[in-house]
Amino acid sequence: MAEPMQISAFFDEPTHTVTYLVVDPASRAAAIIDPVLDYDHRSGRADIASAKRILAEAEKLSARVEWVLETHVHADHLTAAPWLKAKTGAKVGIGAEVAQVQEIFQPIFALRDVSLNGAEFDRLFADGDHFQIGGLDVEVLHTPGHTPACVSYRIGDAVFVGDTLFMPDYGAARADFPGGSARALYRSIRRLLALPPETRMFLCHDYKAPGRDRFAWETTVAAQRAGNVQVHDGVSEDEFVAAREKRDAGLAAPELLLPSIQVNIRAGRFPCAESNGARFLRIPVKLAPELDKVV
- At 137-164, the pLDDT tens digits run 999 999 999 999 999 999 999 999 999 9
The pLDDT value recorded for residue 56 is: 98
The pLDDT value recorded for residue 295 is: 84
Check if the beta carbon of residue 95 is closer than 8 Å to that of residue 149: yes
Quote the CA–CA distance of 13 and 123 in Å, as a whole number.
29
The pLDDT value recorded for residue 1 is: 61
Q: Show the low-confidence residues of the chain (pLDDT under 70).
A: 1
Domains (range + CATH), the chain: 6-289 (3.60.15.10)
- Tell me the pTM: 0.96
The pLDDT value recorded for residue 263 is: 97
